[in-house]
Copies of this chain bind each other. A is one copy, B any other.
């Protein structure tokens, strides 16, 4: 047994004996303890702060006495006097071992610290960013050993940081000589650590010690909106978030209309590429301004998007994605540079685009898979990312299946008579009293329900302008629960329902949700065609999920995750009343928020996650709904509310849907009604 003092690190529990006088940073490195340092032990950066603990530690079998660490030396004292140190903290590179000691490494001193995620069930993000800062001291030039300044810098990185094969671009060479001399041959460099196919590369250089950080962007490029998070690549913190409308909207609301635009207009794809890149640059300028940082400090960016957005962003004509066999130009993850995509951040910033799963299941779905990790789930999880196209993942740690289903834009309020985007003034929440069949609702911009005091004042500025996506789902589900709508999707008449709000609308009926005519505002109704649009959309979503269940030969799932900004606003109950998702206990339906965006942020902050998701995507089995015969059958059944063939036993535990039927002409609806009853 060594007579050298014992050093125990917490929380890792790593321990070892070290000679008296060994700096704590050195001991940590030798044991592989995760202790940060940018200056390489020169007492400049203070990233290696640690907290010694004193007293008895029976758990570690050690007693730590006063004097277990060295006295404060001049460097450490100078740092404390100038910059301050939290009480009890020491600089790991200056404090040396004098006796047995227990050393705590606080989270902020760990390179691979964990980033907090709000949701309890979500995996933590472990920091492992692409780019790190290194302070180095470079040998001065010597006429008798003529090597270049760059070569001596690279040698210093190898020697002082064990970074080998580091390369650089011309922009660094352009500033290298003056910066080295200004810093007195001491510089800080930001090094992109490279990946399987790219060597490490110097991205930035500063004279002396650079007391700052570098940034990365996690970008969710949607058909409708582009959302970005600007992250500190050292702390992992989101320093600013921002979003804009996708400027491609002027070429078509949904994906297929954009593909058509490109087919019908020569150079249309290039127009759309320019538009999205310009939008992206506007967004980046905005987000950098918001955070008050120089855009050149953005050295890494991760993008997720669906295949059509993916191709258009890359400047590839999406023509082939518009027709079978939906061939992607490229499906693998891509590592590019910002300049290749005309992005005005650091010109050599790396751009990582997650892999596409299939022609209809894009990098956004891969990002959802990274965030929600169905491939790591013990129980069988269904993850649906609800948007214009729904991407669906089903599986557990044994196997994951994926498909896409063309839900259309109804869930986003499009193709709905009073539909609108989620914006102030839009009805987002609805309840209908099952007895009086009277509605109450809330509009975006106010927390007050329409039947509460102060509602009129609260909405005075926005007015009531329409129904947004989550609102239309709620109102249709509430109509069904209140007996205004039957299982086949027909709205009853005033006579059949006993509610004067059911008004005739051509050959069908509509439900009057709000009559604003007295104030010169809109009259908002839910028409039978609106219900049909929702039926088609939810049937497409359900059928995709059901098809994957068939493939796995299961009849139920253990839990459902609703992803997408939209998913965050759908209540589990309403979704299941509509039969959007398979039956499952309501408390097992959770919302993941913008899981695609979160996946992008994970890939940005942890480069290991990139390798991981690439492997996951390769292992995911892709199902093409368009060529599956059973999809049609599921679709027909799923057109009923909730479903004409599937029982919803978990839903039945919570509520009973009124057995109404408003079909007066017989036929299909009657038929499907029968089937459902037979099975129940």
Contact = CB atoms under 8 A, between A and B. Distances in A.
Which of A329, A340, A626: most chain B Cβ within 10 A? A329
Interface stretch (A246-254, A260-268, A353-361, A639-647): A353-361
Interface string A533-552: 00000000000000000000
A170 interface: yes
A212 interface: no
Contacts of A141: 325-327
A626 B143 contact: yes
A163 interface: no
A503 interface: no
Interface string A317-350: 1011000111111111000100011000000000
A210 B662 CA distance: 68
B173 A314 contact: yes
B143 A627 contact: yes
B357 A146 contact: yes
Which bracket fits the contact residues of A? 35 or more
Contacts of A326: 141, 143, 146
A66 interface: no
A331 B143 contact: no
Which of A170, A327, A622: most chain B Cβ within 10 A? A327
A165 B151 CA distance: 28
A150 interface: yes
A175 B173 CA distance: 34
A148 interface: yes
Contact of A319 (B177, B199, B331): B177
A626 B332 CA distance: 56
B320 A177 contact: yes
A165 B335 CA distance: 14
A90 to B, nearest CB: 39
Which of A141, A176, A626: most chain B Cβ within 10 A? A141
Contact of A331 (B148, B199, B361, B627): B148
Interface string A484-502: 0000000000000000000
A452 interface: no
Contacts of A341: 170
Interface of A: 141-144, 146-151, 165, 167, 169-170, 173-174, 176-178, 197, 199, 314-317, 319-320, 324-332, 336, 340-341, 356-359, 361, 622, 624, 626-627
6 contacts: A143-B326, A144-B627, A146-B328, A148-B332, A149-B330, A174-B317
